[in-house]
Amino acid sequence: MDLKPARILGIESSCDETAASVVENGRSILSSVVATQIELHAKYGGVFPEVASRQHIRTIYAVIDEALQQAHMGLTDVDAVAVTRGPGLAGSLVVGVNAAKGLVLGRNIPLIGINHLEGHICSAWLYHADTSRPPEAPKFPLLALLVSGGHTELNLMTDYLQYRRLGATLDDAAGEAFDKVARLIGLPYPGGPSIQKAAADGDPEAFKFPRSRLDGTWNFSFSGLKTAVLRVVRELEKTNRILPVNDLAASFQAAVVDSLFTKTMKAAREFEVKSVVVAGGVSANRALRDTFLHQSEFPVHIPPLSFCTDNAAMIASAGYFHYMAGHKDPLDLDVLPNWPLS
């Protein structure tokens, strides 16, 4: 692919984050604005779809304007608008897609619908524009571990936009398991940060929770681990013992990290990749990051913490590579709530 200079405005509204960003050449972040809804949904113990879509409507144009202002640009200065088309909550996706359509119609610039999962992977290419020494880009072929609230999968990439899914979770995604286990042991939503915080004061070997290996496949499974935690909690409650929350959190987290790391490294060796990418919301987990970054077999690329969770810079980055490939979408572009990456 012939990569030339271009500036892409990215828009993200797949779940409960309203975001906009301007990215140059697929890597350099000129601006990034994220309006979070975590406090709105915390009382529900998860994202409430109708609340999320209404909040997107209230904030999306202000977020876009701020992103353009931070980049010291107007719409006439961007080469294309990239927007998350799916997967995600249908009502939330529609808000972002309709906003993007209005922008490109008014300025006659290309519209590019982006897969949210692809955006997460492309976040590994990002860096802030004021970085003195830009980090080296991932090299192909590479193995991408995508770990988020709704997805856990391994993808082999031989070039930009080329994905071959090797395996995925057969049940709960890793992020989903964090949320459910946090609820089981009395920790607040979102579960990932809550469990990480509790685990810092816990013993990761206090409980011998199972690791589902699923030998012969590149798939993952976390439902058995979740059930094992539930069983321990119920046994402790029967004896009226105080739950050792820190130890439960640390032991659960260790089991998840071990499962993800072991299978990813095995696949990296099998397919003789040149680099490994770890992306998605769960890639913000400190234990997971440390485990991957402290090994020396493969160069590992993990986005900065602020770009692990949902953001628009990753959508703009993915949009750049599609723009360079000559891709554009018509104005009747529709959302795809269950859109698979491959």
- CA geometry: angle 100, 62, 69, nearest 5 deg: 90
Digit-coded pLDDT (tens) for 65-85: 999 999 999 999 999 999 999
Q: Name the strands in the sheet holding 111-115, side by side, starting at the edge strand that comes first in the sequence.
A: 111-115, 80-86, 7-12, 17-24, 28-36, 127-128
Residue 248 burial by Cβ neighbours in a 10 Å radius (0-12, 13-18, 19+):
buried
Q: How many CB atoms lie within 10 A of CB 165?
A: 16
The whole-number pLDDT of residue 40 equals 66
Using CA atoms, how far residue 290 sits from 81, 151, 207, 294, in Å, is 35, 21, 21, 6
Q: How far apart are CA 318 and CA 162, in angstroms?
A: 12
As its CATH architecture, domain 7-126+306-324 has 2-Layer Sandwich (3.30)
Amino acid at 200: A
> What is the number of other CB atoms lying within 10 angstroms of the CB of residue 72?
10
With the CA atoms of 71, 72, 75 and 78 taken in that order, what torsion angle do they form, in degrees rounded to the nearest 10?
-50
Per-residue model confidence as pLDDT tens for the chain (342 residues):
778 999 999 999 998 899 999 999 999 999 999 998 766 667 667 676 778 899 899 999 999 999 999 999 999 999 999 999 999 999 999 999 999 999 999 888 999 999 999 999 999 999 999 988 999 999 999 999 999 988 999 999 999 999 999 999 999 999 999 999 999 999 998 899 999 999 999 999 999 999 988 999 999 999 999 999 999 999 999 988 889 999 999 999 999 999 999 999 999 999 999 999 999 999 999 999 999 999 999 999 999 998 999 999 999 999 999 999 999 999 999 999 999 997
Numbered ranges of CATH 3.30.420.40 in the chain: 7-126+306-324, 142-302
Residue 56, phi then psi, degrees to nearest 5 = -60, -45
**CATH, range 142-302:** 3.30.420.40
Rounded to 5 degrees, φ, ψ at 331 are -70, -10
Query: Could you report the per-residue pLDDT of 191-223, keeping only the tens digit for each?
Result: 999 999 999 999 999 999 999 889 999 999 999
- pLDDT for residue 106: 84
Q: Are strands 28-36 and 17-24 parallel, antiparallel or unpaired?
A: antiparallel
